[in-house]
Structure 1
Amino acid sequence: MCSPVFASGFAINEQSVSGMGTGFAGRSSAAEDASTIYGNPAGMSRLKREQVTGGVTLLDAHTDINDARSSPNGGTNEGDMVPLIGIPMGYYVKPINEQWTLGVGAYAPFGLIADYEEGFGGRYFGSRNEVQVMTLQPTVSYAFNDKVSIGFGPTFNHITGSLESNLSMTQAAPDGDVKIKGSDTAFGYNIGILAQLTDRTRVGLTYHSKVDYTLEGHTKIDYALLGGQKKYDSSMEVTTPESVDLSLTHALNDQWTLYAGSTWTRWSRLKEIRAVNEGVPDALSGQFGEIREEQNWHDTWAHAIGASYQLNKQWVLRGGLSMDQAPTNNVNRSPRIPTGDRKILSLGTGWSPSDNLTIDLAYSYLKEEAVKVNNHNELGQSYSAEYENWANAFALGVTYRF
Structure 2
Amino acid sequence: MHSRRSALSTLTLLSMCIQQAHAGGIMLYEIGTDNAGLANAGAAARAQGPSTIASNPAGLSYLPGTQITGGLQVLYGNLTFNRDSDTNGTGNGSGNALDPIPGGSFFISHQLDEHWSVGFGNYGDFGLAANYDNNWSGRYFAQNASLAGLSFVPSVAYRFNDEWSVGLGVKAMHGMLQAQTAIDRSPFGLTDRSDGQFKYKDNDWGFGANAGVIYAPQAGTRIGLAYTSKVDLKFEDGLDVKGNGPALQRLDGLNTQLDMTVPQTVTLSLFQQLDSKWALLASANWQDWSEFGDIAVQVDTTAVGAQSTTINAHFKDTWQLALGAQYQATPQLLWNVGMAYDSSAVSDSNRTFTVPMGASWRIATGATYALNKDTDVNVSWAMVWLGDMPVDQTKSTSGTRTSGQFDNAWIQALTGNMTWRF
Gaps spanning 5+ residues in structure 2: where? 1-18
Are the counterparts in 1 of residues 174 and 204 from structure 2 also a CA contact under 8 Å?
yes
Q: Is the 8 A contact 1:180 1:219 kept in 2?
A: yes
Distance 2:411 2:325 in 1: 22
* Distance of 2:83 and 2:90 partners within structure 1: 13
TM-score, normalised by the number of residues in structure 1: 0.93
State the Cα deviation string for residues 178-201 of structure 1 (Å, max 9, x = none): 211111112100000011022121
CA distance in 1, matches of 2:221, 2:193: 67
Equivalents in 1 of 2:75, 2:85: separation in Å? 29
Amino acid at match of 2:420: Y
How far the C-alpha of 1:225 sits from its partner, in A, is 2.4
Deviation at 1:85, TM superposition (A): 0.5
Alignment map for 1:200-279 (pairs within 5 Å): 200-226=220-246, 230-273=252-295
Maintained 8 Å contact 2:184/2:195: yes
Looking at structure 2, the residues matched to 86 and 181 of structure 1 have their Cα atoms a distance apart, in angstroms, of: 21
Provide the secondary structure at the position in 1 that maps to 2:218: coil
The alignment status of 1:189 with 2:209, answered yes or no, reads yes
Structure-2 separation of matches of 1:111 and 1:17: 17
Residue aligning to 2:9: none
* Counterpart contact for 2:260–2:293, Cα < 8 Å: no
Q: Cα distance 1:341–1:357, how it changes in 2: closer, same or farther (>3 A)?
A: same
Q: Secondary structure at 1:369's aligned position in 2?
A: strand
Aligned to 1:336: 354
Is 1:350 matched with 2:387? Answer: no
CA separation in 1, counterparts of 2:143 and 2:245?
Answer: 20
CA distance in 2 between partners of 1:111 and 1:240 (Å): 9
Percent sequence identity is 27
Q: Deviations over 1:121-146 (max 9, x none)?
A: 11111111111111100000000111
RMSD value, Cα: 2.1
Counterparts of 1:43 and 1:326, CA distance in 2: 29
Aligned position for 1:117: 133
What secondary structure does 1:370 align onto? strand
1:4 aligns with 2:21: yes
> Which aligned runs of 4 or more in structure 1 are off by greater than 4 angstroms?
69-72, 274-277
Letter in 2 for 1:220: D
**Offset of 1:3 from its aligned partner?**
5.1
Q: In terms of mean alpha carbon deviation, does 324-333 or 101-110 score higher?
A: 324-333
Question: More displaced, 211-220 or 294-303?
Answer: 211-220
Q: In the alignment, what sits opposite 2:84?
A: 68
Alignment-derived partner of residue 393 in structure 2 = 375
TM-score (norm 2): 0.88
> Partners of 1:320 and 1:61 in 2: how far apart?
20
- 177, 180, 184: which one pairs with 1:164? 180
Residue 415 of structure 2 corresponds to which residue in structure 1? 395
Q: CA deviation at 1:62?
A: 0.7
What's the counterpart of residue 280 of structure 1?
none
Q: Distance in 2 between matches of 1:87 and 1:329?
A: 29
CA displacement, residues 258-288 of structure 1 (integer Å, 9 cap, x when unaligned) = 10001100000124336699xxxxx97x713
Instruction: Give the match's secondary structure for 1:363.
Output: strand
| Bigger mean CA offset, 228-237 vs 158-167 | 228-237
